[in-house]
Amino acid sequence: MRKFFQEIKADLKFKTAGPGQKLSEPSRAPKEKPKAEVAPKPRQAPTDEAQRAAAAALARLELKPKGKAASSSQEAIKNQVRKELMAEAAASEKELSVEEKEQEEEGAAAPSVSGVYFICPLTGDVVRKDQKEKHLREAVQAYFSVDPVAASIMEIHTFNKDREKVRVCVETMAKYLDNIYLHPEEEKYRKIKLQNKVFQERISCLEGTHRFFQAVGFETQTLPVPGQEGTEEYYVLKEEMLSRLEELKDCKEQLLSAEPVRAQLHRQLTVFQPSPAAARFELPHDFFNLTAEELRREQRLRTEAVEKASMLRTRAMREKEEQREMRKYNYTLLRVRFPDGYILQGTFYARESVSVLYNFVREALRDDWLPFELLGPGGLKLTDENLAFNECGLVPSALLSLAWDAAVMADVEAAAEEQRSPLRPELLARVQTLS
């Protein structure tokens, strides 16, 4: 029996295959000698994994009970060994593909920007998009120690997202304060029942409203209800506030005129040295409404269908779908290449107008009066500055070119003692290399 397994092992030494290779069929002796002998192709040595798998399979067979060994044909045993070896090879191949995928991900190009950032208007701090709401809340909370009235007004206008409810709420609160200011002698106007239906439906349900009433001089009191048994909770204006009615009026005006506190998009202005990689963009998921996985799937499906779709759809249909696609982007990363090769980069909202980009470039110039034009991909002039970036196809990223007015630049160059970059020196001092 051992001699038989040695024969199988010797045979498998040449027949086992590495991951991804097919096992060859056992060689059979020819019935007759061929007329011309052809030199056999050299056989590839089996991989270490295959040899270990073969040894393990043979060891398992030797451990099996020998009572039924005689009834098993040699071919059946060989088939069993091949089956196990193929399973081992498939497992090895799967592990290899996972490792290759991980290596590809590790070697992926670095993003052109690390994310989308905002500047908090209260603290001046720069925070990432996913931390913006939390940071803004903390900043407003801290502002209560500085100006509790202003902080409560910020809460009402900023953290209640339904703008219509905010409008109704603010107008109702202003009416309460107006009644006190216009009729200070009337005690009934200085009391607000908290369980009042209008107060509950329009005011109490919104964030920041109770803090506002407390900040302008109201305090909570439990009072008897006229004509009824029992008590109710009221907001009652403190007596001392009757001598400060003008302050109360100012608070009302602040409440009516306030706007939501909005963090400002950080442009992340960057200047790069001339580079052939200027048109290559690697954007983080912050730039998209979709999740990273949804975006990858959509890109794959769109790539597969682009040829067929271009033949079947009309131009109007394509333009409509393109506009729908553009709405998936919240932000866009734009680069402007100057005639000397330097590249100016900034982050913008996808729905901002082209005029914003012109101003962005102008603010980066040493001489902001120099006339210039911006050319989009393909050399198309961006003449309508009222169009949004997503209407011009400049999302989620684009490389544009800057062209000077030829006549003006000729005069400038003639008057200048030496040619110099049109960008501001402080920007050139921190120029970066585009990877």
Residues 203 and 232 grouped into a single domain = yes
Does residue 31 lie in a domain region?
A: no
What the block records as the tokens of 114 is 């690390």
Number of domains in the chain: 3
Domain boundary pick from 280, 309, 326: 326
- Residue with tokens 């506190």, as numbered in its chain: 261
Residues 194 and 314 grouped into a single domain = no
CATH of the domain at 183: 1.20.58.2190
Does residue 411 or residue 290 have the better pLDDT?
411
Residue 294: band (very low, low, confident or very high) from pLDDT cuts 50, 70, 90: low
Residue 14: band (very low, low, confident or very high) from pLDDT cuts 50, 70, 90: very low
% of the chain with per-residue pLDDT over 70? 64
User: What is residue 71's predicted lDDT score, i.e. its pLDDT?
Assistant: 47
Does residue 52 lie in a domain region?
A: no
Reported in sequence order, the residue ranges of 54-180 that DSSP labels E, i.e. its strands, are: 117-119, 126-128
Distance CA 191, CA 221 (A): 9
- The pLDDT of 213-217, averaged and rounded, is 97
Residues 229 and 372 grouped into a single domain = no
**Cα-flanking dihedrals φ and ψ of residue 328, to 5°?**
-75, -15
Does residue 35 or residue 120 have the better pLDDT?
120
Does residue 356 lie in a domain region?
A: yes
Does residue 354 lie in a domain region?
A: yes
Provide the 3-class DSSP secondary structure of residue 112. coil
In the chain, % helix, strand, coil (3-state, to 5) comes to: 50, 15, 35
Could you list the residue range(s) of the whole structural domain that residue 278 is in?
Answer: 270-288+329-429
The model's pLDDT over 356-388, given as tens digits with 9 standing for 90+, comes to 999 999 999 999 999 999 999 988 899 999 999
Residues 282 and 304 grouped into a single domain = no
Residues 240 and 148 grouped into a single domain = yes
Decide if pLDDT at 220 tops 70: yes
pTM of the model: 0.65
Distance CA 421, CA 433 (A): 17
Residues 410 and 280 grouped into a single domain = yes
Give the rounded distance of the alpha carbon of 246 from its chain centre. Answer: 48
Distance CA 264, CA 223 (A): 46
Residues 277 and 407 grouped into a single domain = yes
Residues 334 and 186 grouped into a single domain = no
Residues 249 and 318 grouped into a single domain = no
Residues 239 and 138 grouped into a single domain = yes
- The pLDDT of 338-364, averaged and rounded, is 96
Range scoring the smallest mean pLDDT among 51-60, 221-230, 281-290: 51-60
Using DSSP bridges, classify how beta strands 117-119 and 126-128 pair: parallel, antiparallel or unpaired.
antiparallel
Residues 383 and 319 grouped into a single domain = no
Distance CA 44, CA 16 (A): 10
CATH of the domain at 277: 3.10.20.90
Does residue 209 lie in a domain region?
A: yes
The model's pLDDT over 114-127, given as tens digits with 9 standing for 90+, comes to 999 999 999 999 99
Residue 13: CB partners within 8 Å, gap ≥ 6? Answer: 46, 51, 54
User: What is residue 28's predicted lDDT score, i.e. its pLDDT?
Assistant: 45
What the block records as the tokens of 43 is 């056989």
Decide if pLDDT at 271 tops 70: yes
Distance CA 142, CA 182 (A): 34
Cis peptide before 65 (omega within 30 of 0): no
Distance CA 213, CA 177 (A): 10
Distance CA 427, CA 435 (A): 18
Decide if pLDDT at 5 tops 60: no
Rounded to the nearest integer, the mean pLDDT of the chain is 79
> Which 8-state DSSP code applies to residue 365?
B
User: What is residue 314's predicted lDDT score, i.e. its pLDDT?
Assistant: 64
Using DSSP bridges, classify how beta strands 331-337 and 264-265 pair: parallel, antiparallel or unpaired.
unpaired
Does residue 80 lie in a domain region?
A: no
User: What is residue 26's predicted lDDT score, i.e. its pLDDT?
Assistant: 40
Residue 30: band (very low, low, confident or very high) from pLDDT cuts 50, 70, 90: very low
Provide the 3-class DSSP secondary structure of residue 271. strand
Which residue stretches of 259-364 are H helix? 292-312, 315-326, 354-363
Residues 127 and 225 grouped into a single domain = yes
Burial classification of residue 422, based on how many CB atoms lie within 10 Å of its CB (0-12 exposed, 13-18 middle, 19 or more buried): buried
